[in-house]
Amino acid sequence: QVQLEQSGAEVKKPGASVKVSCKASGYSFSNYAMHWVRQAPGQRLEWMGWINAGNGRTKYSQNFQGRVTITRDTSATTVYMEVSSLRSEDTAVYYCARDWSDISGYSYYFNYWGQGTLVTVSS
């Protein structure tokens, strides 16, 4: 069965960077895009960007102004999401979520999610 296993909670100081991993299993890794979505406390879900796990092509939300980088390691079937220049407003649960469609036609909706990684930014 499809599983997305994320790395553990992180506590970071303002200005630092954080890198969250998402290990995929149970499906053909290179055939699907992976998205990242975050949820600040009491807030709505916020889409951050995605990566085509096959060719590594990425697309980011402009709302993050170049602070987010998504990469993948096909041999490890793992996707990574790094946020730089952290500020307190980045405190949130970060989720990886697999696209519903394979890479022949992206859907931009998500039928498999990781368990979430809490990132706390505090001085």
Q: Return the closest-CA partner of residue 37 out of 9, 67, 61.
A: 61
Listed ranges 16-24, 58-66, 69-77, 84-92: which one lies at the site for another protein (CB under 8 A): 58-66
59 binds another protein (CB under 8 A): yes
Q: Return the closest-CA partner of residue 35 out of 47, 23, 19.
A: 47
Closest approach of another protein to the CB of residue 108, in Å: 4
63 binds another protein (CB under 8 A): yes
27 binds another protein (CB under 8 A): no
> What distance in Å separates the CA atoms of residue 25 and residue 13, rounded to the nearest whole number?
32
How many residues bind another protein, per CB under 8 A?
A: 21
> What distance in Å separates the CA atoms of residue 90 and residue 39, rounded to the nearest whole number?
9
Site for another protein in 82-111 (CB under 8 A): 95, 97, 100, 107-111
> What distance in Å separates the CA atoms of residue 97 and residue 117, rounded to the nearest whole number?
12
For the record, the structure tokens of 63 come out as 């709302």
Which position among 1, 62, 65, 75 is part of the footprint of another protein (CB under 8 A)? 62
Amino acid at 30: S
Which parts of this chain interact with another protein (CB under 8 A)? 35, 44-47, 59, 61-63, 95, 97, 100, 107-111, 113-116
